[in-house]
Amino acid sequence: MYGVSQDKFTKKNTIRASDFVLSRFTSQFGNRELDSITTDEVLSFLNQITDGCRQTTKRTRYSPLSSFFNLIKNTVDPSLQNPCTTPILRKLFRPAKIASWTILEKDVVDEIIFRTVKPRNRLMLELMARGGMRIGEVLKLTPKDVEDRRLILRRPKSGRIAETVFIPKKVADRLKEYIKEEEISPEQRIFPITYQGARMAIQKAGKLVGIHLRAHDLRRHAATYASRAGTPIEIVSKVILRHSNLSTTQRYLGRVSDTEAMRWIENLYG
């Protein structure tokens, strides 16, 4: 009964969410005329498929249904009223608030790394803070993935076949020396610990300087430090963070204070 064309560049997650919602909507209302479906019925349906979900997921499942009704209204029946656009539904399924993160300054990150004595933990911190790597990517690394200053990520989060991480020469040299000293074979994981073990090591490193440190704080630092050092946003996005679009990258970058804004303007035009 219902069909929605999907642009080939639409994110895979968005396509999956749309398929999930619209297939279930068709199963439940496929024998009904669209103009007979009420807001209360839509609310009941959305509550069924979002029960226990986070606000982000709720919004992701609300949006394709609302877009579907708008598509029919704009292309088939201008008189159709979209039952998803009532104030109560818009409020219940509004976008989740974007979290505000504290961005670590370079001197703090340098101190964290410097004060971490264990070579394994120090390397993990450096790969996240200097290479913008996720904790899961660090833990999956094997020696065969190390190509001088390039690290090859197999089966990355993006769904691509592989991605490349570029790291500074000093970090690359320490990584290769560590592999050699530990006699790690090409197929072995360089850091054979669990996610929980890695997170605990990161939290311990943060306590050395009196902060609550999370793994993703280091990845955000890598992006923000590069951006504030003058690195083009395209390089930060495509090379350091390996994002598919700039809007995702912009959420990683810290807010600019008035003091910093004035300093940059003064540097540019003063």
Among 49, 66, 92, where does a domain finish? Answer: 92
Let me know whether 218 and 117 are in one domain. yes
H or E segment at 153? strand 150-154
Give the pLDDT band (50/70/90) at residue 231.
confident
Average pLDDT for 97-112: 80
State the chain's maximal CA–CA distance in angstroms. 73
Q: Is residue 246 part of a domain?
A: yes
Q: Is the pLDDT of residue 8 over 60?
A: no
Domain CATH for 181? 1.10.443.10
Q: Is residue 6 part of a domain?
A: no
Calculate helix-pair angle for 55-75, 39-50, nearest 10 degrees: 140
Q: Is residue 184 part of a domain?
A: yes
Let me know whether 88 and 120 are in one domain. no
Q: Is residue 3 part of a domain?
A: no
pLDDT digits (tens, 9 = 90+) for 154-173: 888 777 788 999 999 999 99
The total of other beta-carbon atoms located within 10 Å of residue 88's CB is: 10
Let me know whether 127 and 260 are in one domain. yes
Let me know whether 254 and 197 are in one domain. yes
Give the range of the structural domain holding residue 156, as residue numbers without chain letter.
Answer: 106-269
Let me know whether 147 and 240 are in one domain. yes
Let me know whether 205 and 130 are in one domain. yes
Among 92, 127, 154, where does a domain finish? Answer: 92
Among 49, 67, 92, where does a domain finish? Answer: 92
Q: Is residue 80 part of a domain?
A: yes
pLDDT, residue 101, reads 61
Average pLDDT for 126-144: 94
**Residue 46 CA to its chain's centroid (Å):** 25
Let me know whether 150 and 82 are in one domain. no
Let me know whether 84 and 110 are in one domain. no
pLDDT, residue 114, reads 95
Q: Which two tokens stand for residue 40?
A: 């209360």
Let me know whether 120 and 254 are in one domain. yes
Let me know whether 87 and 176 are in one domain. no
Exposed e or buried b per residue across 4-30, where buried means at least 16 C-beta atoms within 10 angstroms of its C-beta: eeeeeeeeeeeeebbeebbeebeeebe
Average pLDDT for 206-221: 92
pLDDT, residue 189, reads 97
Q: Is residue 163 part of a domain?
A: yes
Least confident of 65-69, 98-102, 247-251: 98-102
Let me know whether 135 and 260 are in one domain. yes
Let me know whether 127 and 158 are in one domain. yes
Give the pLDDT band (50/70/90) at residue 238.
confident
Give the pLDDT band (50/70/90) at residue 142.
very high
Question: H-type helices in 116-187, by residue range?
Answer: 119-131, 135-140, 169-181
Give the pLDDT band (50/70/90) at residue 228.
confident
Q: Is residue 1 part of a domain?
A: no
Q: Is the pLDDT of residue 140 over 70?
A: yes
pLDDT, residue 178, reads 97
Give the pLDDT band (50/70/90) at residue 9.
very low
SS3 content of the chain, % helix, strand, coil (to 5): 60, 5, 35
> For all residues of the chain together, what is the average pLDDT?
86
Q: Is residue 233 part of a domain?
A: yes
pLDDT, residue 104, reads 86
Q: How many domains does the chain have?
A: 2
Q: Which two tokens stand for residue 78?
A: 């201008």
pLDDT, residue 161, reads 84
Q: Do the Cβ atoms of 187 and 68 come closer than 8 Å?
A: no
Write down the residue that tokens 């204070």 correspond to.
257
> Would the pTM count as exceeding 0.85?
no
